Chain A
Amino acid sequence: MKKINKLLTTFAATSVAATMAMANPSITAVKVDDSIDLSKVSNDDKVWSKAKKADVVLYPQTTIKMNDKNANEVNANNAAKEAKILAIYNKNDVAFKIEWKDKTENKTDAKSSSTDYADGFAVQMPTNFADPKKLPYIGMGSEGRPVLVHLQKAVSSHYEPNGNKDVSLQVNRHQTNAFEKDLAAFDKSVSDVAISDYQRAYISEGFRSMTQIRGKDIAFNMNMSYNIGTWSATMSKSLKDGYLDLTSSGAFPVAFAVWDGAKLGRDGIKNLSTWVAVDFDGKKGNEALVTELTKKPEGDAKAGKASVDAMCASCHSYADKVAAMPTMAPNLSNIGGYSTEAYLAESIKDPSAVVVPGYNRNAHKNTAWYTVDAKGNRASTMPPMMSDDKQIADAVAYLMTLKAEVK
């Protein structure tokens, strides 16, 4: 037992060190043969052996707390998770393989209860990343900076309203006047129209605006499989679709999120990464993006802590600073985990540069995070806090240290 404990301690210590050292990894997408159809790539495909592994840390989303009492209790002290990411591409598609640890497999289906939630994962990409300092807000984009989100959940069957005129299959089985064989046939017809793959694409400019893309102008494929404590998942998409064109890019940003059904995870109750640069091996371009997303903070975190404690803690909660009213402002406990430096610097200098329309002003109207003028423009209720570049850089360096550890 002692030995195990010691091992665990060593393991924890190394992972903390790893988190610190590898705070800004990049992913190399390895070129594979154009003849391989990546749109159909599976978890155990041999093609993955060519890929290079990158470790990306997924931090618990703590910016906004939702109103599910039980979920808030079980997610109060979440640790960060490490995900192993592989990426490959060819002239048609790009594909990711994501592996993360999860003690339990949580699947749901049409007979699940109201308190069951499915595990899942998502891959997010900005539709425009020309300016690496102005990437969309990590939490599903922001106004004028849309993101494309691909979501897969472990939902083995669900039904959606459709135009297929199968209303007769929606009736309760007890109202079918069918018995035995006929009833079994009815049940089979019903299960045949179920959607067995809960795979969706969304376009979003801030999480409140997230809208499902239902058209055919987006081609992607996702799957996930569970094996003894680990989810393996793949996502492949066409390099060019109606929303995003990666054909002429040398690199692009991506973010990952995973949900744990055992922790009642859905929506914001998840672990997510910051923007991570994906470098197309053998393709030139977007070097500035890779540099921006992999550099280490230059500021003095110690000096930054002093100014953050003095200027931010009365509204924001983070680390041991919990005096602020919880609904007053975004919680910064994991802000360093899933934010880019550029975003933090921009938001300190000009809080209204990115105002996510996600926070529900109706839920906490006394502490609205933004105001809306007659034209619908949102202005943050946070005043610009710092203007000195050195001071901002120091504050950002400190904020980048605010994150949960991998356990």
Chain B
Amino acid sequence: MSKRQLAMVMDLNKCIGCQTCTVACKTQWTNRNGREYMYWNNVETYPGDGYPKKWMELGGGFDAAGDLQDGVIPNIEADYGVPWDYNYESLAATNVLGKDADKDGYSLKGAETPGLHPTTEPTWGPNWDEDEGAGNFPSDNYFFYLPRICNHCTNPGCLSACPRDAIFKRDEDGVVLVDLDRCQGYRYCIAGCPYKKIYFNPKISKSEKCILCFPRVEAGLPPACAQQCVGRIRFVGFLDDEESQVYKLVKKHKVALPLRSDYGTQPNIYYIPPTESPAKFDAEGKIIEGSTRVPMEELEALFGKEVHEVVKKLKAEQAKRKETGESEILDLLIAFHHSEMFRLDNNYYQEVAKAKGETPLAPIDTRYIKGKNTKVVFGGGHH
């Protein structure tokens, strides 16, 4: 357990699935160097198979007794989906008229299908089942968006699974990082993470994951996904900082819940469960008064039994606001000022770095640098 824990709260009532967070993260970190298929931040539609495909069924995490569970490592092509390209270059040389043209003496290039098509046949991708949801249109269909990043767990499955001590949790803020110098690309971490939020980079043959934008955070900026969020759904702050909105939502008012805490990893990304959904229609297309489309069982599966209390509390708070005009919780969730959603304790990191004699904080696990048997760890053109 780290000394302090940086956490994020995401308000699912406000997420519009615009993927601005996804793009902010991708352009910042994963559009290059073997990470092209990775989405450290993704927004999936729930219910849905998500990204990677059926990640909730791939094992990992801990059982009730605290034992790490076996897991499955997803395949890049089949379960994540590769970013495909189109056959632009061969298009010019290909007969676009189709097979019949062959008879007229035009040659078809190889066995290639004429026309514009993806160079690899895509079968899955990060938004493959976006907006599909469940239920029957128009009577009771429903879905909501579920943005996901690494949960920077207090008891990380990835860290527990690594036999090389290549994954570490920073003491100063609980950010979980891969020490690329120690990582040997074994991928047990991927099996161990129940959220499948750690990825294998085949180009460098090592695992990589969301770093909670620690270089930004150390400079006092929130993670890119949070800063760019147009719906202002993301709050960032330390869980022990009573001034932070994160603290107020998670600890004080207890209206934010972690995702699938039954995996036993003690995740640190919290969600305001979706309380707002339209009423269902009956067979005649009339509104069924008092009904709600998102089933509570679904929410309970994602956020635990506590979700019933939270939904009640949020509804009560709305009623209170209507009556009295007062509600601290709703004031927080409305997010009048974007900047107030982030409290990164600006000088904190500078103090930590100063205490360690580093500027800025070293992004590596320093335990082994001075290994007594390691005469040279960093040398020979490295670092």
Separation in Å of the B295 CB from the closest CB of chain A? Answer: 30
**A166-208 vs B, Cβ < 8 Å mask (1 yes, 0 no):** 0000111011000010000000000000000010000111011
Closest Cβ of chain A to B198, distance in Å, is 11
Q: How many angstroms between the C-alpha atoms of A214 and B377 in the bound complex?
A: 6
> Do A267 and B72 touch (CB < 8 A)?
no
Q: Tell which of B71, B161, B181, B375 touches A212, judged by Cβ atoms closer than 8 Å.
A: B181
Q: Does B152 contact A (CB under 8 A)?
A: no
Whether the pair B371, A158 counts as a contact (CB closer than 8 A) is: no
Interface of A is mostly: loop
| Contact, CB under 8 Å: B368 / A211 | yes
A364 in contact with B163 given A158-B203, A158-B204, A213-B374 (CB within 8 Å):
no
Most buried by B among A110, A111, A114, A365: A114
CB distance from B299 to the nearest CB of A (A): 29
Distance A116 CA – B186 CA, assembled complex (angstroms): 11
- Docked-complex contact A110 and B202, CB < 8 angstroms: yes
Q: Mark A330-371, 1 if CB is under 8 A from B, else 0.
A: 000000000000000000000000000010101111110000
Kindly provide the distance from the CB of A278 to the nearest chain B CB, expressed in whole angstroms: 22
Contact A215 B380 (CB under 8 A): yes
Residues of chain A contacted by B381 (CB below 8 angstroms): 162-164
Contact (Cβ within 8 A) A114 B74: yes
Q: Which residues of B contact A211 (CB under 8 A)?
A: 182, 368, 371, 373-374, 377
| B121 at the A interface (CB under 8 A) | no
B34 within 8 A of A: yes
Given contact pairs A159-B33, A159-B203, A217-B376, A366 touches B65 in the complex (Cβ within 8 A) = yes
Task: Find out whether the CB atom of A267 lies under 8 angstroms from the CB atom of B186.
Answer: yes
Which residues of chain B have C-beta atoms less than 8 A from A198's C-beta?
Answer: 205
Residue numbers in A under 8 Å from B377 (CB-CB): 211-215
B123-155 to A contact mask, C-beta < 8 Å, 1/0: 000000000000000000000000000000001
B residues in contact with A208, CB < 8 Å = 163-165
Whether the Cβ atoms of A217 and B375 lie closer than 8 Å is: yes
CA distance A217 to B192 in the complex (A): 36
Shortest CB-to-CB span from A188 to chain B, Å, is 16
Asked whether, in the complex, the Cβ of B34 is within 8 Å of the Cβ of A363, the reply is: no
B71 touches A69 (CB 8 A): yes
Contacts of A112 in B (CB 8 A): 202
A243 and B80 CA atoms in complex are apart in Å by 43
Q: In the complex, which of the residues B162, B203, B368, B381 has the most CB atoms of chain A within 10 Å of its own CB atom?
A: B203
Is chain B's binding surface mostly helix, strand, loop or mixed?
loop
Contacts of A115 in B (CB 8 A): 73-76
A113 to B184 Cα, complex, angstroms: 16
CA distance A207 to B188 in the complex (A): 15
Q: Which residues of B contact A362 (CB under 8 A)?
A: 68, 155, 159-160
A225 to B371: give the CA distance in the assembly, Å.
34
Which of A69, A175, A213 contacts B376 (CB under 8 A)?
A213
B71 touches A159 (CB 8 A): no
Name the one of B34, B162, B205 contacting A155, with C-beta atoms under 8 angstroms.
B205
Q: Which residues of chain B (49-93) have a CB below 8 Å from chain A? A: 59-60, 65-77, 80, 85, 89
Q: Are B185 and A209 in contact (CB under 8 A)?
A: no
Most chain B CB within a 10 A radius of its CB, from A159, A209, A211, A367? A211
Q: Is the CB of A108 within 8 A of B374?
A: no
Q: How far is the CA of A161 from the CA of B383 in the complex (A)?
A: 7
B191 within 8 A of A: yes
Question: Are the CB atoms of A68 and B191 closer together than 8 Å?
Answer: yes
CB <8 Å contact, A110 and B34: yes
CB distance A72 to B70 under 8 Å?
Answer: yes
Instruction: Give the number of residues in B that approach A within 8 Å (Cβ atoms).
Output: 61
Q: How far is the CA of A110 from the CA of B381 in the complex (A)?
A: 21
- B161 near A161: Cβ-Cβ < 8 Å: no
B200 within 8 A of A: yes
Decide: A114 and B76 in contact? CB cutoff 8 A: yes
User: Residue B200 contacts which of A114, A204, A215 (CB distance < 8 angstroms)?
Assistant: A114
B190 at the interface (CB under 8 A from A): yes
> Of all chain A residues, which has the CB nearest B190?
A114
B 178-232 contacts with A by CB, 8 A: 180-182, 184-188, 190-192, 199-200, 202-205
Please give the distance in Å from A124's CB to the nearest CB on chain B: 14
Check if A253 is an interface residue, CB within 8 A of chain B: no
For A72, the closest partner residue in chain B by CB is B70
- Expressed in whole angstroms, the Cα–Cα distance for A17 and B33 within the complex equals 52
Contacts of A108 in B (CB 8 A): 202, 205
- Say yes or no for B378: interface residue by CB 8 A criterion: yes
Measured CA separation A170–B34 after assembly (Å): 8
B191 adjacent to A69 (CB under 8 Å):
yes
A70 lies within 8 A of B72 (CB)? yes
From the candidates A163, A174, A213, name the one contacting B383 in the complex (CB within 8 A). Answer: A163
Contact between B67 and A174 (Cβ–Cβ < 8 Å)? no
Taking the closest CB of chain B, its distance from the CB of A128, in whole angstroms, is: 11
Residues in chain B near residue A360, CB distance under 8 A:
68, 160-163
Quick check: is B379 within 8 A (CB to CB) of the other chain?
yes
With A and B bound together, what is the CA distance between A243 and B371 in angstroms?
A: 14
A297 at the binding interface (Cβ < 8 Å): no
- A172 with B72: CB separation less than 8 A: no
A210 to B368, CA, bound (A): 9
Q: Across the interface, do A364 and B68 meet the contact criterion of CB distance under 8 Å?
A: yes
Chain A residues whose C-beta falls within 8 Å of the C-beta of B204 in the assembled complex: 158-161
Contacts A146-B373, A214-B378, A267-B184 given; indicate if A67 touches B161 (C-beta within 8 A).
yes
Write the chain B residue with the least CB distance to A327. B67
- Are A171 and B187 in contact, CB atoms less than 8 angstroms apart? no
Q: Which of A114, A155, A175 contacts B31 (CB 8 A)?
A: A175
A207, A212, A217 interface centre (most CB from chain B within 10 Å): A212
B36 at the interface (CB under 8 A from A): yes
Let me know if A66 is at the binding interface, CB within 8 A. yes
A211 to B365, CA, bound (A): 12
**A299 on the interface (CB 8 Å rule)?**
no
What chain A residues lie within 8 Å of B165 (beta carbons)?
Answer: 208-209
Closest-CB distance, A159 to chain B (whole angstroms): 5
Q: Are B371 and A209 in contact, CB atoms less than 8 angstroms apart? A: yes
Per-residue interface assignment for chain B, residues 339 to 383, with 1 indicating a CB less than 8 Å from any chain A CB and 0 otherwise: 000000000000000000000000000001001011111111111
Which residues on B sit within 8 Å (CB–CB) of A363?
A: 67-68, 160-161, 192
Query: Does A67 lie within 8 Å of B71, measured CB to CB?
Result: yes
Interface residue from A161, A216, A367 paired with B379 (Cβ < 8 Å): A216
Q: Is there an interface contact between A113 and B76, defined as CB atoms closer than 8 Å? A: yes
Q: List 9 A-B contacts (CB under 8 A).
A: A68-B191, A114-B76, A114-B80, A114-B202, A163-B382, A172-B36, A203-B374, A210-B164, A366-B65
Known contacts A204-B373, A214-B378; can you find 15 more A-B pairs with CB under 8 A?
A: A67-B70, A67-B71, A68-B187, A69-B71, A70-B73, A114-B187, A114-B202, A172-B33, A174-B85, A209-B368, A209-B371, A212-B182, A213-B375, A360-B68, A363-B67
Give the A-binding residues of B (Cβ under 8 A).
Answer: 31-34, 36, 59-60, 65-77, 80, 85, 89, 155, 159-165, 180-182, 184-188, 190-192, 199-200, 202-205, 368, 371, 373-383
The 5 closest A-B pairs by CB, nearest first: A215-B376, A363-B68, A170-B33, A69-B70, A114-B200
